[in-house]
Structure 1
Amino acid sequence: MFSKGKLRVRKLDEKDNVLLAKWLSDPAVLEFYEGRDNPFDLSKVNEVFYSSEDEDVKCIVEFEGNEIGYIQFYQIDGETKKEYGYGNENVYGTDQFIGERGYWGRSIGTLLVSSMIEYLAADKKADLIVMDPQTRNIRAVQCYEKCGLRKVKLLPQRELHEGEYQDCWLMEYRIGL
């Protein structure tokens, strides 16, 4: 897919299911991604991440040759674009996490998100990139703001997480601004 410096993003392989199961059974990762009440075993990873009808492009994040996280990107559908207040723009969304906690706090997330924005603008001709982090996920919101995304809309009770609906921010990056 693409590389930038010590960062490499490649498409998900079948053998990566073990990594995903490891990361998505870690309560610290699950605190903001999927929920601590929703751990993934190998069977659940295979069901959720290797579904053929899913149009998301699923990728593994490598840093300095080590597999450290996950990112997916997808074109936003017409219904969601309408909900968000967009028209005919080419809008992409991403979801990501660093699964290896030893790589947290090293600005790798910032490098990952900014590199994905560059990739989507150049290769997919995206006009906008959007993300919808939970409002309480301060670390993610700050990372996205460092990458040039801005909060544009509060999405009340957007995501069911650990038994409660959480508010999320719609954050966007407009290409060319």
Structure 2
Amino acid sequence: MIFSNEILIRKMKQNDFELMVKWLNDPKVLEFYEESPTNYDKVVNKYGPRVEGKHYVNPCMIEFQNETIGYIQFYPIQENELIKYGYPQNQIIYGIDQFIGETQLWGKGIGTSMISMMVNYLSIHKSVSRVVLEVKNTNVRAISSYEKCGFKKMKELQNDLTLMEWIK
């Protein structure tokens, strides 16, 4: 789907579910990613419809040097979220959520590269005017990465989260 240097962003497949179970049970990942520990059935129930194209969220996997290392999803912000964030309903605004599941690869610039790749893809292929994301206030490494990609802090949300946005 999207390729640059040693990073590939590809559509998620059913055979990726086991990796999601592993990552979504890793305390280091869960410290920053808004998800609770899970099992295979829960992953299939949540991500299966997305993989099959029956959900508005588009799930993707991140590969680095031909190894699957993380997850990224993109989606049009739904009307209730637009209202929550304070945006008008007449704009094309997408959201993204992501994590590197292989925590030994944190801090190596891979996250910044994959986010830049995704924002560029959304700008070109989905004609977005804005991309937004929520980040935990304590996730200093991610906030720094998002800022390197052109995201700006917009407002504080509930549960110690900050809304950040990228504008074309």
TM-score where L is the length of structure 1? 0.88
Over 6 Å off, 4+ runs: none
SS of 1:22 mapped into structure 2? helix
Amino acid at match of 1:79: N
- 2:40 is the counterpart of 1:42: yes
* 2:135 corresponding residue in structure 1: 133
> Structure 1 residue 8: deviation in Å?
0.4
Amino acid at match of 2:28: A
> Structure 1 residue 117: deviation in Å?
0.5
SS of 1:97 mapped into structure 2? strand
SS of 1:50 mapped into structure 2? helix
* 1:33 corresponding residue in structure 2: 33
Amino acid at match of 1:124: K
Structure 1: distance between partners of 2:62 and 2:138: 24
TM-score where L is the length of structure 2? 0.93
> Structure 1 residue 82: deviation in Å?
2.4
* 2:104 corresponding residue in structure 1: 102
Q: How many residues align?
A: 164
Percent identity of equivalent pairs: 42
Structure 1: distance between partners of 2:10 and 2:49: 18
RMSD of aligned residue pairs (Cα, Å) = 1.2
Question: Cα distance 1:83–1:34, how it changes in 2: closer, same or farther (>3 A)?
Answer: closer
Q: Which moved more, 1:40-49 or 1:89-98?
A: 40-49
